[in-house]
Amino acid sequence: MKEWKRLLKSFSFAWEGIVFTLKSEKNMKIHGAAALCVCMLAWMFDLSKTEWLIILVTIGGIFSLEMVNTAIERVVDLVAPEFHPLAKIAKDVAAGAVFVFAIISVIIGAIIFFPHFIVLIS
């Protein structure tokens, strides 16, 4: 029983991290709005199960990377409150990882949705 309480507590901590990121990070709000729009389009176009899975994995990936980026930024700020070139590199690399995945996500979205838009306008 003690194991279950610990497990539930860990889920609670994880949820707090998600809520913190959603409330505090502008980019996470942008990703959330984009994800909502993409899910609405996916529903409207009646995407296949495979297309839905790819979309959901992509959304989960960008949300996860944004949260890791936030964690790295906070830890760097804690350890190096003053400017330090290595702290800047750590933050820039973490932000770059999110940016790369965001670009890939847009490309994935285009590959999935483009044929559906063509059918719609034809």
Active site residues: 66
Report CA-CA distances (Å) from 50 to 12, 16, 47. 31, 31, 8
In terms of Cα–Cα distance, which of 77, 67, 71 is closest to 27?
A: 67
Report CA-CA distances (Å) from 83 to 43, 61, 79. 46, 30, 11
In our burial notation (b when 16+ CB lie closer than 10 A, e otherwise), range 92-111 reads: eebbeebeebbeebeebbee
**77, 91 contact by CB (below 8 A):** no
